[in-house]
């Protein structure tokens, strides 16, 4: 029929001819290795992409120029030619003294920003001397129980010059307060300091599960930091909306993309409902994505993320403010992809994952150390991880041209497909009443759990190959690399400082400050000023979180 003919473009006709004349005979001689090729997210990948796969795209609307809407090709008009990404290695272990010296070492080695990892008691709002902290002090990060610890952590590091990212969520407002008080004591101007607080509580309920309070009051604490920072610490990013942990929990690339951005929209909506003007706080919302093994899927994910965010800010919130439309993000290579088996292979995985982050236009990057499937990184492993970024930046030439993969039929088609799939999730979550309501019903949690299980099955069938684990295995090499050991003396050291802090402080001032904080929480005032006052009086993290728990209660996870 003539209509069918019109629908077939010359390229499609050419493709049919190619399949018939060139491909089929080749397949007869050498069949393909498997019947279905799929990404690490178990999405099918076609054999070949041509202009026909991106025929629906409009260059200016969908791809465009870097530094312009919809920012598919990056935020900066000249990419990395003006400024490389920030090399920001996540570090933290043992005592504040130990981590302080690791920070200084990393800065000496050419690292350009700091990123603090706190231990589990700190992440959960417990002091080092709580019985719940036994066996966990200083293990997964640095132990911080009060302002005294924070003072040691940043001793000799000028907070007006160095940007610091803090990975802390449920008790984030307290750690922000400690950071601000330390900066003030150094003589730094709050208006000049910059840095990032992770403070993304939604992904805790979805994926990482380090929560304290129920969702709604926890969201209120997040919005308090938005309002406080917009007024007093204008260059500080009070949130890093994180897909990293969602991916690590087993999500596919599309689920990571969709749930993270939908979390971001939820924060914007809550901020707006609390009375903040969208363009007063959204420019300071930052994002954090994973860099997993599937190279092209990851690059497409970052490009789609920028495009979706810009469009949503326009369409949902009517913004035309450039900084509101621009999605800025940090990337970390996928911890979950690291293997205990043949651990040095991880150096190669990390390099390729990092390259995807760079080609996706990340603003900052953390590269994992090869020994992280065994323990926290040793100095040597951490240094190789940093050097990996420096090699990508200085030797490979990938930072010379802006968005070098833009225009690839495959990458553009994938970017488009991921945007559509993410929007499908947005519609579902919107129909459930938004992300908070969706989490309360266990929707994203269930989706991720299913994906994690499907992936495990694919690995066990051998459909997904992990070198050294289900193919090319060797006698175990795990014990051949030295690992970092953190013993129980760390807890003793922390207990001593905590005891001294409690002995030296003015107990009356602490009690008053905590009472003020309880009142601010009850009356739904902004809790930040009272939190800062409590921190200044050397109230401990555990005491401050307990005061808020008195008012808000604790979260109970629904059975999923």
283 with 332: CB under 8 angstroms? no
In sequence order, what are the residues at sequence separation of 6 or more whose Cβ sits closer than 8 angstroms to the Cβ of residue 148?
497, 498, 500, 501, 538
Among 453, 472, 492, 522, binds another protein (CB under 8 A): 453
Of 88 and 126, the one with the shorter C-beta distance to another protein is 126
Nearest distance from C-beta of residue 142 to another protein, angstroms? 14
Q: Give CA–CA dist 398/142, Å, rounded.
A: 35
Q: Count residues near another protein (CB under 8 A).
A: 45
Q: Contact with another protein (CB under 8 A): which of 9, 78, 161, 456?
A: 456
Angle at alpha carbon of residue 248, lines to 244 and 252, rounded to 5°? 90
Residue with smaller CB distance to another protein, 140 or 418: 140
Among 347, 458, 469, 509, the residue binding another protein under the rule CB under 8 A is: 469
Name the minimum Å distance from CB 266 to another protein.
Answer: 20
Please tell me whether residue 485 binds another protein under the rule CB under 8 A.
yes
**56 touches 69 (CB < 8 A):** no
Q: Mask: binding to another protein, 386-425, rule CB under 8 A, as x and -?
A: ----------------------------------------
User: Looking at beta carbons only, is 35 or 131 nearer to another protein?
Assistant: 131
Of the two residues 19 and 460, which places its CB atom closer to another protein in the complex? 460
- Determine, following the binding rule CB under 8 A, whether residue 449 of this chain makes contact with another protein: yes
Integer Cα distance of 335 and 45 in angstroms? 24
Spatial separation of the C-alpha atoms in residues 499 and 492, rounded to whole Å: 11
Site for another protein in 128-157 (CB under 8 A): 132-136, 139-140
Give me the 288-327 binding string for another protein, x by CB under 8 A, dash otherwise.
----------------------------------------
Is residue 214 part of the contact set for another protein (CB under 8 A)? no
Site for another protein in 333-392 (CB under 8 A): 336, 339-341, 373-376
Least distance in Å: CB of 133 to another protein?
8
- Count CB-CB contacts under 10 A for residue 134: 12
Q: Which residue has the tokens 């307060």?
A: 177
Asked if 557 is part of the footprint of another protein (rule: CB under 8 A), the reply reads: yes
Which stretch of DSSP H or E encloses residue 237?
A: strand 236-237
How far apart (Å, rounded) are the C-alpha atoms in residues 128 and 142? Answer: 11
Query: Could you tell me the smallest distance in angstroms from the CB atom of residue 10 to another protein?
Result: 48
Chosen residue from 74, 79, 92, 121 binding another protein by CB under 8 A = 121
Interacting residues of 353 by C-beta distance below 8 A, sequence separation 6+: 291, 292, 293, 298, 333, 334, 337, 367
Indicate which single residue of 91, 106, 116, 124 sits in contact with another protein (rule: CB under 8 A). Answer: 124
107 is a site residue for another protein (CB under 8 A) = no
Contacting residues for 227 by C-beta, under 8 A, at least 6 apart: 271, 274, 276, 281, 526, 528
Give the Cα separation of 552 and 350 in Å (integer): 41
- The stretch among 177-185, 315-323, 454-462, 532-540 that binds another protein (CB under 8 A) is 454-462
Name the token pair of 114. 């700091």
List the strands of the sheet with 239-242, edge to edge. 236-237, 195-197, 164-167, 113-117, 86-91, 364-366, 329-333, 285-291, 239-242
Element (H, E) at 536: helix 528-536
Contact 193, 236 (CB under 8 A): yes
459 touches another protein (CB under 8 A): yes
Per rule CB under 8 A, is residue 486 in the interface with another protein?
A: yes
Q: Is 249 in the site for another protein (CB under 8 A)?
A: yes
Contacts with another protein, residue ranges (CB under 8 A): 120-121, 123-124, 126, 132-136, 139-140, 204, 208-211, 248-250, 336, 339-341, 373-376, 449, 452-453, 456, 459-460, 466, 468-470, 476, 478-479, 483, 485-486, 557
């Amino acid at each position: 029929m003539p209509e069918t003919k019109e629908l077939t473009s010359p390229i499609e006709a050419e493709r049919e001819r190619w399949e018939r004349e060139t491909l089929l005979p080749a397949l007869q001689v050498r069949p393909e290795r498997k019947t279905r090729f799929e990404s690490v997210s178990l999405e099918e990948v076609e054999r070949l992409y041509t202009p026909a796969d991106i025929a629906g795209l409009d260059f200016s609307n969908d791809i465009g120029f870097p530094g312009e809407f919809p920012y598919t090709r990056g935020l900066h008009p000249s990419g990395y030619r003006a400024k490389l990404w920030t090399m920001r290695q996540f570090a933290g272990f043992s005592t504040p003294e130990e981590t302080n010296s690791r920070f200084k070492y990393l800065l000496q080695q050419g690292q350009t920003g700091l990123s603090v990892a706190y231990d589990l008691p700190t992440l959960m709002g417990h002091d080092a001397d709580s019985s719940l902290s036994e066996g966990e002090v200083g293990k997964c990060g640095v132990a911080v129980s009060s302002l005294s610890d924070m003072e040691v952590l940043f001793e000799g590091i000028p907070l007006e010059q160095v940007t610091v990212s803090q990975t802390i969520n449920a008790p984030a407002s307290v750690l922000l307060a400690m950071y601000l008080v330390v900066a003030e004591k150094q003589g730094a101007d709050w208006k000049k300091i910059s840095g990032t607080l992770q403070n993304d509580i939604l992904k805790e309920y979805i994926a990482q599960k380090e929560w304290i309070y129920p969702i709604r009051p926890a969201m209120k604490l997040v919005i308090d930091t938005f309002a406080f920072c917009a007024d007093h610490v204008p260059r500080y990013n009070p949130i890093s909306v994180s897909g990293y942990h969602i991916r690590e929990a087993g999500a596919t690339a599309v689920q990571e993309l969709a749930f993270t951005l939908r979390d971001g929209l939820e924060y914007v909506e809550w901020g707006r409902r609390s009375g903040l003007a969208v363009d007063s706080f959204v420019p300071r919302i930052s994002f954090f994505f994973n860099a997993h093994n599937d190279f092209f899927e990851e690059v497409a994910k970052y490009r789609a993320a920028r495009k979706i965010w810009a469009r949503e800010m326009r369409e949902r919130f009517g913004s035309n403010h450039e900084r509101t439309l621009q999605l800025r993000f940090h990337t970390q290579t996928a911890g979950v992809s690291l293997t205990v088996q043949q651990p040095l292979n991880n150096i190669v995985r990390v390099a390729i994952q990092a390259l995807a982050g760079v080609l996706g236009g990340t603003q900052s990057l953390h590269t994992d150390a090869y020994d992280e499937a065994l323990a926290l990184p040793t100095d040597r492993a951490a240094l190789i991880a940093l050097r990996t970024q420096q090699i990508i930046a200085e030797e490979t030439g990938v930072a010379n041209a802006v968005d070098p993969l833009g225009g690839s039929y495959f990458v553009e088609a994938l970017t488009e497909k991921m945007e559509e799939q993410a929007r499908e999730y947005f519609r579902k979550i919107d129909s459930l009443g938004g992300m908070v309501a969706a989490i309360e019903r266990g929707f994203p949690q269930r989706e991720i759990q299913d994906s994690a299980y499907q992936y495990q099955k694919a690995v066990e069938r051998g459909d997904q190959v992990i070198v050294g684990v289900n193919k090319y295995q060797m006698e175990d090499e795990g014990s051949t690399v030295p690992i970092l050991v953190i013993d129980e003396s760390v807890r003793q050291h922390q207990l001593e400082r905590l005891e001294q802090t409690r002995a030296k402080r003015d107990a009356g001032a602490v009690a008053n400050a905590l009472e003020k904080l309880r009142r601010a929480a009850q009356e739904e005032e902004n809790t930040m000023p009272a939190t800062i006052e409590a921190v200044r009086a050397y109230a401990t993290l555990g005491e401050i979180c307990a005061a808020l728990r008195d008012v808000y209660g604790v979260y109970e996870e629904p059975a999923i």
